[in-house]
Amino acid sequence: MKINKISAFILSLFLVLVACETEESIDITSPDASFTLLEPSISNINLNYNLPNNEAFTIVWNDQLTSGDSYMIELSPDALFESPTVIGSSTTDRFTMTVADFNSTVLGEGAAAFEPFTVFMRVTSGSEISNSVSFSVSSYSEAEPVITTPDSSFSLVLLETTPNDEAISVTWEDPDFGENSSVDVIYEVQFAEAGTDFAGAVTETATDMSFSSTHELFNETVLNAGLAAEEAGSLDIRVKATIEMDAGNMERFSEAVTITVTAYSVELAPVLYVVGAGAADAGWSWDTPVELPLQGTKYSGNINLVNDAFRFFTVNNDWGSGLNYPYYESVGYTIDSNLANAMDGDSNFQFVGTPGEYFIEIDTDAKTITLGPPVVGPNCNFDQLWLVGAGIVDTGWSWDTPVALPCTGNGTYSGNVALTNDAFRFFSVNNDWGTGTNYPTYEGNGYTIDSNFNNAMDGDSNFFFNGTPGTYFLTVDDINKTITLGPEQLQCDFEQLWMVGAGVVDAGWSWDTPVALPCTGAGVYSGSVALTNDAFRFFTVNNDWGTGINYPTYEADGYTIDSDLINAMDGDSNFFFNGTPGTYTVTVDTGNLTITVE
């Protein structure tokens, strides 16, 4: 049995071998060797300006054809690689590029900043070339804006007489951007004194890729940039381009262009002088010019006018400082209809109204020249200033008892004030918090402020009195721009005299609205009063009939009384006004024993 089994096995093996010889041969093969650039996991690349050193991309390949020790990476804007650019090399099977390098490369191939741009890449090694892969790339701008106008030869003299004419136009290009760019670029133009590296630059908003400015507006820009008025100065100009991004704004600056500019002065002269035959008290001579002092932004004063010509001047005895009718017209003033162009060769002002005394006001803020009835008495912007605050002993922070600082001269407010070490403020209108003027406002307007005052630094920047508490003579001079303290002036027996009676238009025989004559000097009570032909009396205490002083009392004390005032002979021997009804300055001088109506 064993022999038979062995024999059977040998036989079967023989048959198998014979069968194999009669079948076709079987070939076992391997894949062809290849050089393949693997498809990237991303196909859209947004290059981030704020991450220049990050990897922009990495490509990997499989090389079975070469020795693998030297590869060149090529980029092309077209799939056929008609003019490829070698962007790098590698000795491994991968290549990477930073954001900054790849951005420069893509822009060099013709991409427009912030617009999708397709590029193709492949790898070569000797004569072997891999397949290509493609990316859609959004690059960012690297080039700076370039100013096209003006250039460094540009010279400009700004003119006050052509305020609305165009003075300058700045234009520029932004080379990296194409016509289809959807990104918002914020353009601004910066101006600075040459050589300051734009440390104190004035920045102006631009429209598209241009900026223009008028003589008036650009003059302000030039002065704010640090150039001096009335002399040629060098001004640097550059363009700032900003693109707002979530990860941080992208800012680019053009190269600076330096131009020459002469600005005009906007400083107001302290006084305007009127000279000419039309100003009866002046004539065409500098011996007696009419002076109109500046108070705030207004020149004003009384002037006698006749039907002839005159001119304004900013400098005494300087014919070259004249300002004629066309000057004010050209800078936008509305001029009173009683004044016209004299058409006399110098284009002076011509007064064409009824000859007489007028109050003339040149408002440089509202740009008006107006004529009105003459002002009797001291001329100020307000009848008085009001003082309120804890630093004012008789007031506190309440409108119950504000302290008045009356107008005592042209542009001057003064009076005795009891002060303590606390804060206060000046107000132009009684019981109106909105009319307050604090320390920085006076300081900013060029006032020299007494050292006994400083900024309270209390949120409202009020005045703070830091001197020895007591009563002082406080003066606010709007013409010379000073706020001063002096010794208390024991001026009068009373803070004011009161006028009541039918002859005082604003009072009548009632204590509801008595007219006050404040103490304005040593023993002098003076103020503006509207008078009519009727009787009145002086009183030393408000609302106290028993303090009245009549005509015979003053007469008996030796007073010289104005001829417009007589004894009313009405039983109480009150005063009677027998002059022309109108507004006058009534002055009671207890030192010189006079009562005048002017």
Q: What is the pLDDT of residue 377?
A: 67
The pLDDT, as a whole number, for residue 6 is 42
Tokens of 465: 């009195």
Distances from the Cα of 424 to the Cαs of 302, 337, 351, 382, 421, in angstroms?
34, 43, 46, 19, 10
Pairing of strands 356-363, 368-372: antiparallel
Residues in the chain: 598
Residue 326 is predicted with a pLDDT of 96
Q: Tokens 């991409």 map to which residue?
A: 111
pLDDT at residue 594 greater than cutoff 90: yes
Confidence band for 1, pLDDT divided at 50, 70 and 90? very low
Q: Is 99 helix (H, G, I), strand (E, B) or coil?
A: helix
**CB-based contacts of 326-334 (< 8 A; 24+ apart in sequence):** 326/161, 327/161, 328/369, 330/161, 330/162, 330/163, 331/160, 331/161, 331/163, 331/367, 332/163, 332/367, 333/367, 333/368, 333/369, 334/367, 334/368, 334/369
Of 68-82, 201-215, 275-289, 507-521, the one with minimum mean pLDDT is: 507-521
Least confident range from 31-35, 103-107, 312-316, 533-537: namely 31-35
Whether 3 has a pLDDT exceeding 50, the answer reads no
Distances (CA, A) of 461 to 397, 453, 521: 15, 12, 31
Three-state SS string over 59-78 comes to: EEEEECCCCCCCEEEEEECC
pLDDT at 131 over 70: yes
Closest by Cα among 537, 538, 535 to 578: 535
What would the two tokens of residue 328 be? 């004010």
* 274 strand-pairing partners: 290, 312
Report d(CA 211, CA 208) in Å as an integer.
8
Phi, psi for 514 (deg, rounded to 5): -65, 150
Judged by DSSP in three states, 164 sits in coil
Per-residue confidence band for 479, with pLDDT thresholds at 50, 70 and 90: confident
Min mean pLDDT across 180-189, 266-275, 329-338, 398-407 is at 180-189
Q: What pLDDT is recorded for position 8? A: 43
SS3 515: strand
Q: Which of residues 369 and 110 earns the better pLDDT score?
A: 369
Q: Is the pLDDT of residue 480 over 50?
A: yes
Q: Is it the case that residue 247 has pLDDT exceeding 90?
A: no
With CA atoms as reference, report the closest residue to 241 among 364, 141, 101: 141
Of the two residues 183 and 534, the one the predictor is more confident about is 534
Task: Dump pLDDT digits (tens) for 261-275.
Answer: 999 998 888 899 999
**Structure-token pair, residue 367:** 């740009």
The contacts of residue 26 (CB under 8 Å, 6+ apart) are none
Q: Is the dihedral of CA 90, 91, 93, 99 positive or negative?
A: negative
Cβ count within 10 A of residue 5: 8
Residue 10 confidence (pLDDT) above 60: no
With a cut of 90, say whether residue 542 has pLDDT above it.
Answer: yes
Q: How far is the CA of 58 from the CAs of 38, 72, 116, 242, 502, in angstroms? A: 11, 14, 19, 30, 102
Whether residue 370 is predicted with pLDDT greater than 60 in this model: the reply is yes
Residue owning tokens 């009727």? 534
- Residue 190 scores a pLDDT above 50: yes
